[in-house]
């Protein structure tokens, strides 16, 4: 008797649950206003096709061009699951509204959760007040003045890599080098020393515990091995991670423990040094981001409730390691590849660089001399154009995503296109209603490569385009040069200046001593969190960019 009551209660509960799931998954999405927008069809229940069309590096630019022609600039696409309706906007006015309204459009919980599970809730993952506080404490550390002070440090790493290459190529002949690996090592060393005042020794291939922990953790975080189903389950149902413990979760935990111990100790040591200096009535002179963050946290400008904890400090250092190393190393890798593919541009750049190369060797310069040399480098016009053009053509972060935290109406600047049953196209000009919870796909690459904005040669590497940009380009709300590479608005990249210093310094040093040529191995792009190089046919060998690197010997002047 009692048992059957339990059973009917259980059945009733189960029934209610089924109804609820049906409602959330099937009924509610039907009334999602995004479904009124034009867009590519989708038939399957679990369907990754739209993600593939918009995110596969080999086809995404063709996809976006076709979408604009067929559907206009506000397109309805679908995530992998049937209720995951998304707005893909290719409209600069909508983009501006979304990126600047960062309280309405936050990073969706599943991507924040993924970032947080690796590097903690630092500036990249946090939202709302927590983010505001972290950004507030972090911003002074990235001021022009502070970053200038880091230039000698960046330079010393570039010179170190040059020495390493020079000894490897001592016979004067060229060698095939994986520049992707080398740039990655160099940027790790830069961010280690500029971030923590800590030598990771990646250029030396040093056996460093902290370096290994970071590398391994980031690799696990981005690795796409493992099934899509597992990835989706973990992404959409994070509690599962606590129950399903496999090789990956264990690796991440082990790495985190190392980082917590070693980097945590660095934070304590640094605090002590600052305090000791203070007690002696001196000012601790550290230039690294950690010192600057700690000082910023103590500054009188910051209200008590805006200060950040030790834990947050570590999360932010992790975040700089994560957001600042691979991105910049990929930007450098793509620049070297493009210069290898366009030897005439490489020669122009080398001549420009050699023109201002001091006669004294770079490692003999004082810090002041390096600073004033960098002031000249920063203003070299062709170097500047090459950096902008690479960052435009191959943005390391191909796309991003936001989710609406409330219902919103997004303004547009161009009409939607609806295909009628009779084959004709009806155009309709209106704004887009984005309901709470729906995602917006931020197509970084699409805006950088839009032929209607940049002109018919938008997909080509043309550094000189920067001498004379089309007016239409100014409608893109980019943080840097009207390209979306560093995003825009309150959540745009805080490390922009840092990465430009790094790119220009390294290119200066490398171009003055080496030439770069393509090899018989064809390099193609693939999006694995970031846009990475792979050798065609050797995808399983992992990301690499082999180039023929030869010491440059200036022609003897007569």
- Closest distance of CB 350 from ligand NAG, Å: 10
> Looking at beta carbons only, is 65 or 326 nearer to ligand HEM?
326
Binding mask 102-141 for ligand NAG (x = CB under 6 A): --x-------------------------------------
CB of 503 to ligand NAG, least distance (A): 19
Among 32, 101, 251, 519, binds ligand NAG (CB under 6 A): 101
251 binds, among ligand HEM, ligand NAG, none (CB under 5 to 8 A by kind): none
Q: Which does 353 bind (CB under 5 to 8 A by kind): ligand NAG, ligand HEM, none?
A: none
**177-196: contacts with ligand NAG (CB under 6 A):** none
Q: How many residues appear in the chain?
A: 558
**Taking contact as CB under 6 A, which single stretch among the options 99-107, 116-124, 179-187, 538-546 is the one that binds ligand NAG?**
99-107
Calpha distance 94→501 (Å, rounded): 31
| Half-sphere CA count of 198, side-chain side, radius 13 A | 24
Q: Which does 499 bind (CB under 5 to 8 A by kind): ligand NAG, ligand HEM, none?
A: ligand HEM
Residues 516-555 that bind ligand NAG (CB under 6 A): 551, 554
Cα distance between residue 300 and residue 313, in whole Å:
18
493 belongs to an annotated ligand binding site:
yes
337 vs 357 by CB, closer to ligand NAG: 357
485 binds, among ligand NAG, ligand HEM, none (CB under 5 to 8 A by kind): ligand HEM
Angle subtended at Cα 340 by Cα 336 and Cα 344, rounded to the nearest 5 degrees: 115
Q: Give the residue at shortest CB distance from ligand HEM.
A: 495
Measured between alpha carbons, how far is 153 from 156 in angstroms, rounded to an integer?
5
Binds 323: which of ligand NAG, ligand HEM, none (CB < 5-8 Å by kind): ligand HEM
Nearest to 428 by CA among 439, 412, 408: 412
**Contact 425/418 with Cβ under 8 angstroms?**
yes
Q: CA-to-CA distance for 108 and 260, rounded, in angstroms?
A: 27
Q: Which of residues 308-347 bind ligand NAG (CB under 6 A)?
A: 308-310, 313
Handedness of CA 395, 396, 398, 400 (dihedral sign): negative
Residues 6+ positions from 455 with CB-CB distance below 8 Å: 465, 470
Q: How far apart are CB 402 and ligand HEM at their closest, in Å?
A: 8
Site for ligand NAG contains 157 (CB under 6 A): no
Give dist(CA 11, CA 58) in Å, integer.
50
Count of C-beta atoms within a 10 Å radius of residue 63:
21
Closer CB to ligand NAG, residue 160 or residue 307? Answer: 307
Residue 278 or residue 464: which is nearer to ligand NAG going by CB? Answer: 278
Q: Which of 135, 148, 307, 433 binds ligand NAG (CB under 6 A)?
A: 307
Whole-number Å distance between alpha carbons of 242 and 446: 37
Distance, CA of 137 to CA of 320 (rounded, Å): 14
Please enumerate in sequence order all residues whose Cβ is within 8 A of that of 182, keeping only pairs 6 or more positions apart, or say none: 161, 165, 203
Closer CB to ligand NAG, 458 or 547, in the complex: 547
Report DSSP letters for 238-273, one per residue.
TTHHHH---HHHHHHHHHHHHHHHHHHHHHHHHHHH
Residue 294 touches ligand NAG, criterion: CB under 6 A: yes
- Residue span 271-290 as binding mask against ligand NAG, x where in contact by CB under 6 A, dash where not: x-------------------
Closer residue to ligand HEM, CB minimum distance, 349 or 397:
397
CB of 344 or CB of 555, closer to ligand NAG: 555
Q: Which entry of ligand NAG, ligand HEM, none binds 297, CB below 5 to 8 A by partner kind?
A: ligand NAG
Nearest Cα to 182, choosing from 158, 214, 210? 158
Please give the DSSP secondary-structure letter assigned to residue 480: B
Chain positions 371 to 430 lying near ligand NAG, rule: CB under 6 A, are: 408-409
Long-range Cβ contact pairs of 350-359 (< 8 A, separation 24 or more):
350/511, 350/512, 350/515, 350/552, 352/380, 352/381, 352/382, 352/383, 353/380, 353/383, 353/507, 353/508, 353/511, 353/512, 354/512, 354/554, 356/380, 357/512
CB of 485 to ligand HEM, least distance (A): 5
Q: Which of 517, 545, 504 is nearest to 387 (CA)?
A: 504
Is residue 512 a contact point for ligand NAG (CB under 6 A)? yes
Binding site for ligand HEM (CB under 6 A): 123-124, 135, 319-320, 323-324, 327-328, 331, 396-397, 400, 485-487, 491, 493-495, 498-499
- Which strands, in side-by-side order, build the sheet including 439-442? 74-78, 85-89, 439-442, 400-404, 105-106
Residues at the contact surface with ligand NAG, assessed by CB under 6 A: 97, 100-101, 104, 162, 166, 271, 294, 297, 307-310, 313, 357, 408-409, 512-513, 551, 554
Annotated binding site for heme: 493
Residues annotated within the binding site are 493
């Amino acid at each position: 008797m009692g048992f059957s009551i339990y059973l009917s209660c259980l059945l009733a509960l189960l029934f209610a649950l089924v109804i609820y799931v049906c409602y959330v998954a099937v009924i509610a999405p039907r009334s999602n206003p995004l479904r009124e927008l034009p867009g590519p069809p989708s038939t399957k229940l679990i369907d990754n096709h739209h993600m593939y069309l918009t995110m596969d590096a080999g086809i995404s630019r063709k996809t976006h061009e076709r979408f604009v022609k067929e559907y206009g600039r506000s397109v309805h696409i679908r995530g992998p699951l049937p209720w995951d309706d998304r707005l893909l906007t290719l409209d600069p006015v909508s983009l501006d509204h979304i990126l600047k309204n960062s309280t309405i459009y936050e990073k969706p919980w599943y991507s924040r959760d993924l970032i947080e599970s690796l590097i903690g809730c630092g500036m990249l993952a946090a939202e709302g007040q927590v983010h505001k506080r972290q950004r507030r404490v972090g911003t002074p550390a990235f001021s022009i003045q502070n970053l200038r002070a880091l230039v000698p440090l960046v330079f010393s790493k570039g010179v170190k890599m040059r020495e390493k290459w020079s000894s490897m190529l001592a016979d004067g002949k060229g060698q095939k080098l994986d520049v992707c690996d080398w740039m990655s090592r160099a940027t790790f060393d830069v961010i280690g020393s500029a971030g923590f005042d800590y030598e990771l020794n990646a250029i030396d291939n040093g056996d460093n515990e902290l370096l290994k922990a970071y590398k391994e953790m980031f690799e696990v975080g981005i690795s796409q091995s493992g099934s899509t189903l597992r990835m989706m389950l973990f992404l959409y149902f994070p509690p599962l991670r606590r129950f399903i413990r496999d090789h990956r979760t264990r690796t991440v935990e082990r790495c985190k423990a190392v980082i917590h111990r070693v980097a945590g100790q660095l934070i304590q040591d640094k605090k002590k040094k600052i305090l000791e200096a203070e007690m002696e009535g001196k000012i601790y002179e550290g230039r690294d981001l950690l010192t600057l963050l700690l000082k910023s946290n103590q500054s009188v400008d910051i209200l008590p409730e805006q200060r950040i904890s030790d834990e947050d400090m570590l999360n932010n250092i992790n975040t700089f390691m994560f957001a600042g190393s691979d991105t910049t190393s990929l930007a450098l890798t793509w620049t070297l590849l493009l210069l290898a593919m366009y030897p005439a541009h490489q020669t122009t750049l080398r001549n420009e660089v050699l023109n201002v190369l001091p006669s004294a060797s770079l490692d003999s310069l004082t810090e002041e001399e390096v600073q004033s040399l960098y002031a000249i480098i920063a203003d070299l016009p062709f170097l500047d154009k090459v950096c902008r053009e690479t960052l435009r053509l191959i943005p390391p972060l191909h796309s991003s995503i936001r989710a609406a935290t409330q219902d919103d109406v997004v303004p547009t600047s161009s009409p939607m296109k609806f295909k009628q049953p009779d084959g004709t196209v009806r155009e309709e000009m209106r704004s887009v209603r984005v309901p709470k919870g729906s995602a917006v796909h931020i197509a970084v690459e699409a805006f950088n490569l839009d032929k209607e904005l940049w002109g018919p040669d938008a997909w080509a590497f043309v550094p000189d385009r920067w001498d004379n940009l089309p007016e239409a380009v100014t409608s893109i709300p980019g943080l840097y040069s009207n390209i979306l590479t560093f995003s825009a608005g309150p959540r745009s990249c805080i490390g922009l200046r840092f990465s430009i210093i790094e790119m220009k310094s390294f290119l200066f040093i490398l171009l003055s001593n080496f030439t770069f040529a393509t090899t018989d191995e064809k390099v193609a792009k693939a999006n694995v969190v970031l846009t990475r190089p792979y050798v065609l046919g050797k995808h399983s060998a992992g990301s690499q960019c082999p180039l023929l690197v030869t010491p440059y010997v200036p022609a003897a002047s007569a």
